[in-house]
Amino acid sequence: MAHPTHTLSMLQSTSGAGPRWPRGQKFTLSLAGREAHEAHRTAVLYARGLSRGALDAALAAWAAPRQVEPGDGVLLGELLDRPRGLADLTQALESAGASAAEVRAAVARLVKAGLVDLVPTARQEEDLRFPVRWART
What are φ and ψ of residue 62, in 5° steps?
Answer: -70, -45
Q: Of 13 and 78, which is predicted with more confidence?
A: 78
Predicted pLDDT of residue 128: 56
pLDDT above 90 covers a percentage of the chain that reads 58
Statement: residue 6 has pLDDT above 70: no
Q: Facing residues of 27 across strands? A: 84, 118
Cβ neighbours around 125 below 10 Å, total: 11
pTM for the whole thing? 0.75
How far is residue 114's CA from residue 83's CA, in Å, rounded to a whole number? 15
Q: What is the per-residue pLDDT across 12-67, written as a single tens digit (0 to 9) for each? A: 444 455 678 888 899 999 999 999 999 999 999 989 888 899 999 999 999 999 99
For the chain, the domains span 26-129
3-state class of 29 per DSSP?
A: strand
Q: Of 97 and 54, which is predicted with more confidence?
A: 54
Helical H segments across 1-51, by residue range? 4-11, 31-47
Cβ neighbours around 34 below 10 Å, total: 15
